[in-house]
Structure 1
Amino acid sequence: MRLSRPLAALFISSSIPAAYAWGAAGHEIIATIAQMYLHPSIVPTICDILDYSPDDATTTQPQPCHLAPISTWADKFRFKMRWSSALHYVGPLDDHPSQTCLFPGERGWAGSRGGNVLDGIKNVTSLLEDWTRGEANDGTANEALKFLIHFMGDLHMPLHLTGRDRGGNSDKVLWSGRQTNLHSLWDGLLIAKAIRTVPRNYSRPLPYPDVEHALRGTIYDSYIRRIMWEGVFQKWSDQVPEWFSCPEATPASAGEIGIWQQVVMNWKRLSGGKQGVEIGPDTDVVCPYHWAKPIHALNCDVVWPKELDEPPYGGGIKFADEDDGEEDAAGRPPKPHPPLLELDTPKYAGVIEDTMVVEKLLAQSGIRLAGILNYLFLKDAARS
């Protein structure tokens, strides 16, 4: 797929490697929840922009237009779109969960100006607004919409909001006795376990046509029903209206810092200290910084195990690098590797499951995505 130049030109390329968020199932679940909340009048517009067609070219029956199949497009094509790599995450400097969660600290944000998931969401939303006014072409709108659907998922993955250890990719752990890393655990393993353990009663349809109409006969349909029934309709029902809210003005450039702190930051920059970039402010309708702050805080509250910074798993204990385990040049035997922390335990996974942390993030992402799409295209429908 060829990139439209106007969209590519919005962002500055970055050499920082991208990390996946939520995996395919997570992104598709988010898109499916969003589908439930789309105003019916905007669905044809969205389908026209996406030039929707089913992934399976052998399908002979007409397939209903759905957001889920294109929700992973930005990951599938990221190697062809290296300029977009940094748009999948944001790295606040001085951030070091589980001890310290700063969003950001005094030095601001890592990366390039405009090259992060917070600004990415605002930029592609702006492009879609341009399209509704006739100021952007269909190709630009197509890519912007696919990016928006994906970036809203990335925003709600806590490890995409921390600057430590490549979002947990560098932190090896155990899951049910098998080696993985902290990012991969949140990327898909927690969701995979949740799907496997959904009570059997959720295999039956819910008495909500909007929910059932959005489901596609996938392995995670029962899981979505549980999220909606136990979470959205019950546990979080009083909170859902707040999920859409944005303050009138949310400072996102350097994390609510004062004039004196700005002076300190400028001094550090002029004296050669490592200085981060600023991020554009939220709006009163699209406020990814405001939404992301409590998600980022989860890194200290529940995501990052304190044990990873304590002996024997961490805490300054030096072990050999993970190589082939052979003797060194002096004939000395290799040093032992550190033990790996098992996280499929009541203390870690059990708490996450009982509090429905992952399920709430998926629901928030889907409902907020629907809110942005309704805002964008209901205005267009009203004008036409």
Structure 2
Amino acid sequence: MERHRAQMAAFVLAMSILRVAHGWGIDGHYTICKIAESRLTGAAADAVKQLLPESAEDLASVCAWADRVKFRYRWSSELHYINTPDNLCKYQYSRDCKDDNGEKGRCVAGAINNYTSQLLDYGSNSIRAAYNLTEALMFLSHFMGDIHQPLHVGFTSDRGANTIDVRWYTQKQVLHHVWDNNIIETAEERYYSSNVDGLVDAIQQNITNEWADQVKDWETCSSTKPPCPDTYASESITAACQWAYEGVSEGSVLKDAYFLSRLPTVHLRLAKGGVRLAATLNRIFK
């Protein structure tokens, strides 16, 4: 156990050194985990603290860990997204949750189911021996963020808009990167003095006030027991079609009209991701 914690501490240190970029890969995931932490029950907060690497300040500090280990755990790369049929704007688990080799269940929805299942047996010595629950917690927390990013449930031919070249104001980008990074980064620069905690606070206030009557619905789904990744994925492809892809083509220049009209969707997806991550961890560690 001590050797494992030392290894995880090295990962956390490496991640903290690299934490210079902004975006859903860093600040977006941080925001989701910060929101989730504020909504944990006492039992869930205690379990999360027990499972985190010793050097981790909190869950938010390791929420982007899964992106940092893609090259070490190459098998995990295809667990961050779902490719859906072009222009259909619909998601089906049986059809779409597979990797490039066609192996079923290898997508972000399948990964959420898998790591939730592992963590549900927290406290069992046999499960602790079979699974690395520290990594399961960090993978689950990260993938709950990924599935709420609309273009992580995007079209197959453009790889979730990774092949659509655009300009974000004057900067060359791909459309996927705009949603991963640029919208959040621009909002932080304009409204929060480039401070991610300002973004977190603003979304927290909206959850408490503007969206208070919706939160209960976010926390539940058809099974009444979160997580429900198929629901989250369906929401994301709908948002991708209505907001991310809409009006954008190769070479589009995206400025204020795009930024200001899409920012509310980004805020909402971050809020839902945080609320649902908390509901899931509260259920797991009840």
State the shift of 1:345 in Å: 2.9
Is the Cα contact below 8 Å between 1:121 and 1:288 reproduced in 2?
Answer: yes
1:245 matched residue in structure 2 = 220
- The amino acid of 1:102's aligned partner reads K
| Separation in 1, partners of 2:245, 2:179 | 11
Separation in 2, partners of 1:220, 1:143: 25
Is 1:154 the counterpart of 2:178 in the alignment? Answer: no
State the match for 1:141 in structure 2. Answer: 133
Between 131-140 and 72-81, the greater mean CA deviation after superposition: 131-140
How many Å apart are 1:42 and its aligned residue? 2.8
Note closer, same or farther for the CA distance 1:199–1:157 as it changes in structure 2 (3 Å cut).
closer
Task: Give, in angstroms, the shift of residue 156 of structure 1.
Answer: 0.4
- TM-score if structure 2 supplies the norm length? 0.84
1:347-362 equivalence runs, <5 A: 348-353=258-263, 356-362=264-270
CA distance in structure 2 between the partners assigned to 1:35 and 1:48 by the alignment: 14
Match of 1:377 in 2: 285
1:154-209 Cα shifts (integer Å, max 9, x gaps): 01011111133111110000111111010110011100111112268xxxxxxxxx
The superposition leaves residues 77-110 of structure 1 with CA deviations (integer Å, 9 ceiling, x where unpaired) of 1101011111111112x233xxx31214995445
TM-score for the superposition, normalised by structure 1: 0.64
> What's 1:203 paired with?
none
**Match for residue 171 of structure 1?**
164
**Deviation of the 1:225 alpha carbon:** 1.3
Choose which of 178, 188, 198 in structure 2 pairs with 1:195: 188
2:38 maps to which residue?
36
Secondary structure in 1 matching 2:252: coil
- Rg (Cα) greater in structure: 1
Supply the distance in 1 between the matched residues of 2:94 and 2:132 (Cα, whole angstroms).
Answer: 36
Determine if the alignment matches structure 1 residue 91 to structure 2 residue 83: yes
Matches of 2:90 and 2:117, distance apart in 1? 28
Q: Pick from 343, 357, 366 the counterpart of residue 274 of structure 2.
A: 366
* Structure (1 or 2) with the greater helix fraction: 2
* Alpha-carbon distance change, 89 to 199 in structure 1, aligned in 2, over 3 angstroms: closer
Q: Which amino acid aligns with 1:143?
A: E
Gapped runs of 5+ residues in structure 2?
5-22
Correspondence list, 1:213-252, <5 A: 219-229=195-205, 231-248=206-223
AA matched with 1:305: E
Q: Is the counterpart of residue 181 in structure 1 residue 89 in structure 2?
A: no
Report how far residue 219 of structure 1 moved.
2.1
Whether contact under 8 Å (1:95, 1:104) holds in the other structure is no
CA contact (8 A) 1:95 1:105 kept: no
- What runs of 5+ residues in structure 1 fail to find an aligned partner? 3-20, 55-64, 201-217, 249-282, 314-339, 379-384
State the shift of 1:222 in Å. 1.2
Equivalent position of 2:24 in the other structure: 22
Provide, for residues 205-249 of structure 1, a one-character-per-residue CA deviation record: whole Å limited to 9, x for no partner. xxxxxxxxxxxxx921111111122x212221111110011203x
Distance 1:106 1:129 in 2: 24
Contact 2:64 2:142 in 1 (8 A): yes
Query: Using a 3 Å threshold, how does the CA distance of structure 1 residues 286 and 182 change in structure 2: closer, same or farther?
Result: same
SS at match of 2:166: strand
Of the candidates 234, 253, 265, which is equivalent to residue 293 of structure 1?
234
| Aligned-pair Cα RMSD in Å | 2.4
User: 2:144, 2:213 → 1: CA distance?
Assistant: 22
Tell me if structure 1 keeps the 8 A contact 2:97–2:105: no
Residue 114 of structure 2 corresponds to residue 123 of structure 1:
yes
Cα separation, partners in 2 of 1:350 and 1:219, compared to 1, 3 Å: closer
In structure 1, the residue corresponding to 2:179 is in which secondary structure?
helix
Instruction: Read off the aligned partner of 2:175 and give its amino acid letter.
Output: L
SS at match of 2:172: strand
Residue 12 of structure 2 is matched in structure 1 by none
Is the CA contact 1:174–1:343 (under 8 Å) kept in the aligned structure 2?
yes
In the alignment, residue 146 of structure 1 is paired with which amino acid? M
CA–CA distance in structure 2, aligned partners of residues 182 and 366 of structure 1:
24
Cα distance in 1, alignment partners of residues 58 and 95 from structure 2: 41
Identity, in percent, stands at 33
Aligned partner letter, 1:40: G
